[in-house]
């Protein structure tokens, strides 16, 4: 009997695994042959599922967003303190992958103008996912400010060995939002 393959599930699995490859090696230094080798498949099989590196990177970006943000939601009816607890819990989980994803993002965007970055579909998709999550916690009026603080929080914690206390920052943020 021929093997039955769920093509959509396999495509997602390849994108998830490729996200790790991109994170380890960066974007610009990888070719489709090296990615296929890292995934343990042939280049032609990879091309069967993706038109090229850009297509694979877009699918990998979607899988990372789904992993980091897609499975989480904020109880919009909860008090502000509880919503901030939920938001910080989500962002602290992202901390595990922060260094690799930051390095990958900078490599991917290297040499692109701010205008090109703003129009990049992967970056637009990522920004929209983060904005939607943060807006559900703090409302549209404060989304941009809180998003900047959260991403800055992750960066500062990375740079200072995770010494910045999330509870202190969350308390200060709650005071600003009231």
Supply the range of the domain harboring residue 175.
72-178
Closest to 55 (Cα-Cα) out of 65, 45, 46: 46
Q: Please indicate, yes or no, whether residues 93 and 124 belong to a single structural domain of this protein.
A: yes
Q: Please indicate, yes or no, whether residues 100 and 44 belong to a single structural domain of this protein.
A: no
pLDDT by residue (tens digit) across 58-75?
Answer: 999 998 888 877 778 899
**Mean pLDDT over all residues of the chain?**
92
Closest to 60 (Cα-Cα) out of 131, 52, 143: 52
pTM of the entire structure? 0.86
Residue where a domain stops, chosen among 63, 87, 109: 63
Q: Please indicate, yes or no, whether residues 30 and 53 belong to a single structural domain of this protein.
A: yes
Largest Cα span, the chain: 64
pLDDT of residue 4 exceeding 70: no
Rounded distance between C-alpha atoms, residue 26 and residue 118, angstroms: 20
Residue where a domain stops, chosen among 63, 86, 105: 63
pLDDT of residue 162 exceeding 70: yes
Q: What CATH number is attached to the domain comprising 38?
A: 1.10.10.60
Q: Is 112 helix (H, G, I), strand (E, B) or coil?
A: coil
pLDDT of residue 5: 66
Rounded distance between C-alpha atoms, residue 130 and residue 115, angstroms: 20
């Amino acid at each position: 009997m021929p093997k039955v393959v769920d093509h959509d599930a396999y495509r997602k699995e390849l994108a998830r695994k490729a996200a790790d490859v991109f994170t380890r090696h960066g974007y610009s230094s990888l070719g489709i042959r090296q990615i296929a080798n890292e995934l343990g498949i042939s280049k032609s099989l990879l091309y069967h599922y993706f038109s090229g590196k850009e297509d694979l990177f877009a699918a990998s970006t979607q899988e990372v967003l789904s992993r980091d943000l897609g499975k989480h939601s904020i109880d919009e009816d909860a008090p502000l303190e509880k919503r901030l607890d939920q938001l910080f819990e989500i962002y602290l989980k992202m901390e595990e992958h922060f260094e690799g994803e930051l390095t990958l993002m900078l490599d991917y965007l290297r040499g692109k103008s701010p205008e090109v970055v703003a129009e990049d579909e992967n970056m637009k998709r990522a920004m929209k996912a983060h904005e939607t999550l943060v807006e559900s916690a703090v409302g549209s009026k404060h989304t941009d400010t809180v998003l900047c603080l959260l991403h800055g929080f992750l960066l500062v914690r990375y740079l200072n060995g995770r010494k910045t206390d999330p509870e202190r920052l969350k308390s200060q943020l709650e005071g600003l939002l009231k």
